[in-house]
Amino acid sequence: MRRGLVIGFLCLLGFDIMAQLGFKYAALAALPVSPDAGWLLRVLGQPAVFLALLGYIGAFFTWMSLLKHAPIGPAFAASHLEVVVILPFAAVLFGERIGAWQMLGALGILSGILCLALDEAHGDEAHGDGAHGDEAHAGPA
Amino acid sequence: MSTLAYLIWAMNILCDTGGQLAFKKAATVPGDGLDRWTAMAADPWLWAGIAFYVGEFVAWLAFLSLVPLSEGVLLGSINIVLIMVAGRLLFAERITRLRLAGILLVAAGVAAVGVGS
């Protein structure tokens, strides 16, 4: 069971990263951005957009499967970990520079997510309620 | 970060928050199993949520066209804070001390990324 959960979390992380990379590749390929149908058609015509959609769908089904067995607290935290794990991908694939402020921000966000995860886990123990905790999950951001 | 990027970022966050709240509202329909799904499909809130998500999808693509991926993903984390605050205001969800600490840390993290942008 434990091994299955670890594999499930890694899959979730993989799908989330795939979605974000798909978004970025599609966005770059459709430059310049403009508020018109031309840009929208250009961006929707990029194969990478489907990578993003596939990542979304994969993440959704992995998340729903994980919630059947995983404690909500750690699941909640893991579902947001791509926020930090994406940084080395951005540096390597897109040559982005991760500055000190970004590192500090990432640390703050990660600490905040851990607090929220601990609260969810504690709430489940106290109330036996596993239904909440996913309200902030899902979505491109 | 340009003014346009800030505007698109705000639009993305608003769509994300609106979408999550609409889904939450749709998910509270009574019933079980297929009846519940049928009731949800007939609920305008579900379709409002889907419309918000389409808007969010487009806004996120536009946002990532203007900012680096690492910066965009970190700035987008503010949705965690807004959705929790909106959940408190609209659905009377509890905000414990630990949740408040988490919200403040995420907000501070996003602010730090914003300062460095």
* Residue numbers of B between 10 and 39 with CB closer than 8 Å to A: 12-13, 16, 19-20, 24
Residues whose CB falls within 8 Å of the CB of residue A30, separated by 6 or more in sequence, listed in order = A39, A42, A43, A45, A46, B61, B65
ipTM value of the model? 0.80
Model confidence over A41-50: pLDDT tens digits?
888 888 999 9
Which residue is closest to B81 within chain A, CA to CA? Answer: A136
CB B64 within 8 A of CB A22: no
Asked if residue A64 has pLDDT above 80, the reply is no
Residues in A touching B108 (Cβ below 8 Å)? 108, 112
Q: Do B69 and A86 touch (CB under 8 A)?
A: yes
Q: For residue A123, what pLDDT is reported?
A: 66
Percentage of chain B surpassing pLDDT 90?
Answer: 22
CA B33 to chain A, closest CA, distance in angstroms equals: 16
Asked if residue A122 has pLDDT above 50, the reply is yes
B52 and A CB contact within 8 Å: no
Return the DSSP state at A70: S
B76 and A CB contact within 8 Å: yes
Residues whose CB falls within 8 Å of the CB of residue B20, separated by 6 or more in sequence, listed in order = A135, A136, A138, A139, B49, B79, B83, B86
CA A99 to chain B, closest CA, distance in angstroms equals: 8
Cα angle B48-B53-B55, degrees, rounded to a multiple of 5 = 95
Average pLDDT, chain B: 87
CA A25 to chain B, closest CA, distance in angstroms equals: 9
Model confidence over B44-57: pLDDT tens digits?
998 998 999 889 88
pTM for the predicted model, two decimal places: 0.80
Q: For residue A119, what pLDDT is reported?
A: 83
Q: In chain A, count of helices (H) and strands (E)?
A: 6, 0
Of the candidates A24, A56, A57, the residue with the CA atom closest to the CA atom of residue A43: A24
Model confidence over B69-111: pLDDT tens digits?
988 988 888 888 888 888 888 888 888 888 889 889 999 999 9
Model confidence over A85-95: pLDDT tens digits?
888 999 999 99
Asked if residue A21 has pLDDT above 90, the reply is yes
